[in-house]
């Protein structure tokens, strides 16, 4: 049984069947959002021949009104233009389906599995629901960026600029949307006596903290990706990352903060290798945009946050602090230096793999 997002709503729902209703509603909302993304992506397209969603891609014939209902447009035998008999693009149908599925999966991970719950960050009152909504907006932006990057190899500012604005303004107004505070000092943690030190001002000025946290994420996301772009273009002799990837990461940073950004940048090459390899084998495409990997890594970090942040290597001495844990790396200068070293190593590895990957022979169709 899937519980509702909070106690407030759970009180009104006790039957076992009722919890399925929100899942159905979520799926429909996801499909509607997916259709919105399809319409938005078509409008942003640079190709002059692209028609709006209400018209046939090929001949421009206007569809009957019921064809604007997401998913239902693809009823078998009805999914063709009645004038030129060309069927509607399947990728758009899949996107609506996938967005519906993603909405349910994210809800399940956040509400049932509590993937964003870590001891130091507990959003008070209704902030849990607001944070969920905030993350759903990020999901829609990521789906849009992925879709247009796959289609046209670019991520337009029309996605990332409003995205950054929503990220920063939302964080400032709500003040409690972070999944981890902007700064936590782990050196002051003494097992059994005191936990990690969270600076006092974060509790007192939550809105200023929201602004600082979101801006730190924005700068880390944009800045680090820009450096990666420079280094990779020097080492590879060609641009592996576009400027759209820089603004995309700045936008993601404004929603998740700076610590997850480092993990996303570390994880993206792995996602790329996996998706790229499969995609190359299936479609034979030799060049794939990097944006979708960044989006995939963001989803993995968000939905696995609790397990990533709390991961640790326990000490052999009873009661002693853990030998190693990911979160401690973010708490002091030495840890950050280690992290920078790992990031640089991962970057070099990624570039080597990218070179090797381009050399994988693929049978052309
Ligand atoms: Zn047509």
How far, in Å, from the CA of 82 to the mean position of ligand 1? 7
For residue 13, is pLDDT > 60? no
Which pLDDT score is estimated for 88?
A: 81
Which of 91-100, 130-139, 188-197, 311-320 is predicted with the least confidence, judged by mean pLDDT?
Answer: 188-197
Sole residue written with tokens 């790229």: 276
How far, in Å, from the CA of 72 to the mean position of ligand 1? 18
Q: What is the dihedral of CA 343, 347, 350, 351, to 10 degrees?
A: -170
Which of 186-190, 231-235, 339-343 is predicted with the least confidence, judged by mean pLDDT?
Answer: 186-190
Alpha carbons 274 and 293: distance in angstroms, whole number: 9
How far, in Å, from the CA of 141 to the mean position of ligand 1? 29
For residue 364, is pLDDT > 60? no
294: its two tokens: 């960044």
How far, in Å, from the CA of 88 to the mean position of ligand 1? 9
Which of 11-25, 105-119, 152-166 is predicted with the least confidence, judged by mean pLDDT?
Answer: 11-25
How far, in Å, from the CA of 54 to the mean position of ligand 1? 11
Q: Count other C-beta atoms under 10 Å from residue 110's C-beta.
A: 21
- Mapping DSSP to helix (H, G, I), strand (E, B) and coil, where does residue 316 land? coil
Which pLDDT score is estimated for 191?
A: 59
Which pLDDT score is estimated for 192?
A: 58
How far, in Å, from the CA of 80 to the mean position of ligand 1? 8
Which pLDDT score is estimated for 256?
A: 97
Among candidate residues 182, 187, 208, the one with its CA nearest the CA of residue 197: 187
How far, in Å, from the CA of 107 to the mean position of ligand 1? 38
Which pLDDT score is estimated for 18?
A: 65
- Write down the pTM of the prediction: 0.87
pLDDT digits (tens, 9 = 90+) for 285-303: 666 678 988 999 999 999 9
Which pLDDT score is estimated for 245?
A: 93
How far, in Å, from the CA of 87 to the mean position of ligand 1? 8
Q: What is the mean pLDDT of residues 52-71?
A: 84
Average pLDDT, the chain: 83
Q: Would you place residue 351 in the very low, low, confident or very high pLDDT band (cuts 50, 70, 90)?
A: low
For residue 47, is pLDDT > 90? no
């Amino acid at each position: 049984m899937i519980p509702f997002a909070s106690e407030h709503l759970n009180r009104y729902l006790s039957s076992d069947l009722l919890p399925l209703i929100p899942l159905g509603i979520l799926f429909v909302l996801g499909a509607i959002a997916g259709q919105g993304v399809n319409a938005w992506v078509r409008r942003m397209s640079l190709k002059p021949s692209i028609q709006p969603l209400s018209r046939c891609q090929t001949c421009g014939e206007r569809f009957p009104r019921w064809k604007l209902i997401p998913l239902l447009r693809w009823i078998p035998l009805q999914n063709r233009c009645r004038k030129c008999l060309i069927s509607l693009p399947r990728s758009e149908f899949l996107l609506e389906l996938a967005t519906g599925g993603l909405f349910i999966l994210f809800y399940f991970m956040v509400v049932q599995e509590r993937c964003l719950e870590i001891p130091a960050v507990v959003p008070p009152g209704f902030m849990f629901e607001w944070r969920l909504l905030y993350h759903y907006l990020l999901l829609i932006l990521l789906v849009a960026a992925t879709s247009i990057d796959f289609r046209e190899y670019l991520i337009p500012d029309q996605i990332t600029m409003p995205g950054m604005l929503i990220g920063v303004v939302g964080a400032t107004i709500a003040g409690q949307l972070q999944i981890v505070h902007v700064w936590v000092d782990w050196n002051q943690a003494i097992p059994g006596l005191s936990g990690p030190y969270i600076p006092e001002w974060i509790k007192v000025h939550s809105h200023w903290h929201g602004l600082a946290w979101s801006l730190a994420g924005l700068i880390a996301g944009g800045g680090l990706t820009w450096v990666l772009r420079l280094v990779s273009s020097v080492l590879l002799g060609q641009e592996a990352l576009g400027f759209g990837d820089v603004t995309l990461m700045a936008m993601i940073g404004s929603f998740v903060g700076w610590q997850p950004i480092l993990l996303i940048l570390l994880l993206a090459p792995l996602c790329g290798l996996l998706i790229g390899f499969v995609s190359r084998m299936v479609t034979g495409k030799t060049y794939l945009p990097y944006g979708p990997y960044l989006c995939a890594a963001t989803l993995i970090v968000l939905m696995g946050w609790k397990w990533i942040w709390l991961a640790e290597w326990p000490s052999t001495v009873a009661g002693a602090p853990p030998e190693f844990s990911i979160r401690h790396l973010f708490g002091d200068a030495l840890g950050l230096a280690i992290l920078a070293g790992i990031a640089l190593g991962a970057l070099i590895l990624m570039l080597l793999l990218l070179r090797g990957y381009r050399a994988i022979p693929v049978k052309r169709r």
